[in-house]
Amino acid sequence: MKSILFSFLLLPCFGFAQIKIEGKIIDATTKQPIPYVNLESFKYKTGTQSNQDGVFVFELPQGKISDTLKISCVGYKAKYITNLSTGVGAIYELLPASITLSEVVIKKGKVVLKEVGVLEKTGSNFNPFNERLRRSGVQTAVLMKNEEKTTGVVKSVHFFVGRHKYDAPFRVRLYDNEKGLPGSDLLGKSLELVATKKNAWNEFDISEYQIKIPEKGFYVAIEWLANEKYASVSNTFREVVDVNGKKKKIPRPFTYYGPEIAHRIDSSYGLTYRKFLGTDWFLHRAGVVPKDGDRSKTGFADILTKATIEIIE
Question: In a structure prediction context, what are the per-residue pLDDT tens digits for the chain, which is 313 residues long?
Answer: 333 333 333 333 344 568 899 999 999 999 999 999 999 999 999 999 999 999 999 998 888 888 899 999 999 999 999 888 888 889 999 999 876 555 555 556 688 999 999 998 877 776 556 788 899 999 999 999 998 888 899 999 999 999 889 999 999 999 999 999 999 999 989 999 999 999 999 999 999 999 999 999 999 999 999 999 999 998 777 777 777 778 877 778 889 998 999 988 888 899 999 999 999 999 987 766 666 766 666 778 899 999 999 987 7
Q: What is the 3-state secondary structure (H, E, C) of 64-85?
A: CCCCCEEEECCCECCEEECCCC
According to DSSP H, which parts of the chain are helical? 2-15, 127-133
Q: What's the CA gap between 43 and 277, in Å, rounded? A: 11
Prediction pTM value: 0.86
- The CATH code for residues 111-229+257-312 is 2.60.120
Parse the chain into domains and list their residue ranges.
2-94, 111-229+257-312
The fold of the 2-94 domain, in CATH, is Immunoglobulin-like (2.60.40)
According to DSSP H, which parts of 250-311 are helical? none
Q: What's the CA gap between 298 and 161, in Å, rounded? A: 25
Task: Give the chain's end-to-end CA distance (angstroms, integer).
Answer: 83
* Burial profile 46-55: b = 16 or more Cβ within 10 angstroms, e = fewer: bbbbbbeebe
